Structure 1
Amino acid sequence: MKTFLSAGAVLALLASPVLADNQRGPYVGVGAVMVSGDSRTPYDKAEMPALELSAGYKYNGLLGVEGRIGLGVNDDRDDSSDYFVTEQEDNASLSEIGREVDQYAAVYYRPELINQKARLYGLLGYAQLDTVVTRWEGNSSETTDDSLSGSSYGLGVGWYVTDHLNFNAEYRQLANTDDNRFETLSLQFDYRF
């Protein structure tokens, strides 16, 4: 997916030599997000789907702000990752680990390079993420809620569908701390007013 985004970014910038910000003002968006976690944690090999809503304002190509909220839509079950196998060695009754995004919120500075066909944009900001881990042991379970916050950054490519509607694909580090790292791949639509 990173190769796809890199190739799309190069094509977007080469599509037209005119780089002018022709999409100023407010916008709203909705997207499907896949959140993955760090291999040293219960989120090893996790693929946790979420629905994301965004709203922002572009003053010009270098000055824009955006807020996002996300809600988990399903959990991801694990019974084979390296983390699970290690945990099961210490607790033989452990049969499965469920991981899911509860919710998240983020705020970003969003600079963009825009031409007549597409846009390349960066995201630099801060995110707060709430997750839930459920450890299944036979018929019983134990649930742990985790909350973390930290720096968040990413890169995206957007294509114009109509004069006001855009389709975006992006990669993002959702939350980065010393102990955890959560990454996202997302597909989104946004509408520019």
Structure 2
Amino acid sequence: MKKIALCTAALATMAFSTPSMADGIYAGVGYNNLDLTSESAPGFKANVDLLSAILGYKINPNLAVEGRIGAGVNDDTFGASSLEVDSYMGANVLGTLPLSAHNWSLYGTLGYGYASFKGRANGVGFKDDKGSLNYGAGVMYSTGPYSVRAGYEALYDRGNSQADGFALTATYAF
């Protein structure tokens, strides 16, 4: 419920702002609802949430670089086992393609991230730390110094394991 309230407040604030996000530094927050899957464990699927702090630099109207540091906010249990994202760090290139609709654009991200997972299985704790390619795509709405993105992101995609799902990001340009 808090997440919905924060998103509604960000969208309402943006509606009363002026258009055109400036080049330069921006900061924001990100929310990811991730499905964790592994082909080495058929039928395995966990659903967790990740909150992140984002710091970026908009090089030009269509290209930015950004870093992200995040932590899982819940774990998912299945039987006697549980799994959560302990932490996440990533660096991305963000490309945007303006649409003819005012202030709307498509976005794509590509980068590298490092995820730390932890959990319990059969009473034994485990931790796994790995780096991998990350990528995503979706739509973005910008007005004044505010920007909101919604789409799909794969924050971890290595071998036969993946952490991907819905992403919502809100940023403010300085």
State the TM-score, normalized to the length of structure 1.
Answer: 0.72
2:67 and 2:165 map into 1 onto residues whose CA distance is: 16
2:88 pairs with 104, 118, 139, which one? 104
Partner of 2:26: 27
Query: Which structure would you say has the larger Rg?
Result: 1
CA RMSD of aligned residues (A): 1.9
Answer whether contact 1:30 1:190 (CA < 8 A) is retained.
yes
Amino acid at match of 1:78: F
* Closer/same/farther in 2, CA of residues 39 and 176 from structure 1, 3 Å limit: closer
Report if the CA contact (8 A) 1:133-1:143 is conserved: yes
> Is this contact kept in 2: 1:61–1:113, CA < 8 A?
no
2:149–2:169: 8 Å Cα contact kept in structure 1?
A: yes
- Number of aligned residue pairs: give it: 152
Which segments of 5 or more consecutive residues in structure 2 lack a partner in the other structure?
Answer: 1-19
2:7 maps to which residue?
A: none
2:21 touches 2:146 (CA, 8 Å); kept in 1? no
CA deviations over 1:59-110 (Å, ceiling 9, x no partner): 113432111111011111113xxxxxxxxxxxxxxxx110100001110111
Equivalents in 2 of 1:55, 1:66: separation in Å?
6
Segments of 5+ residues of structure 1 without an aligned counterpart are 1-20, 80-95
Q: Distance in 2 between matches of 1:153 and 1:117?
A: 23
Q: Which structure dedicates a bigger proportion of its chain to strand?
A: 2
* Residue 184 of structure 1: how far off its partner (Å): 3.0
SS at match of 1:33: strand
2:159 corresponds to: 178
TM-score after normalising by structure 2: 0.79
Which one of the candidate residues 168, 171, 183 is aligned to 2:149?
168
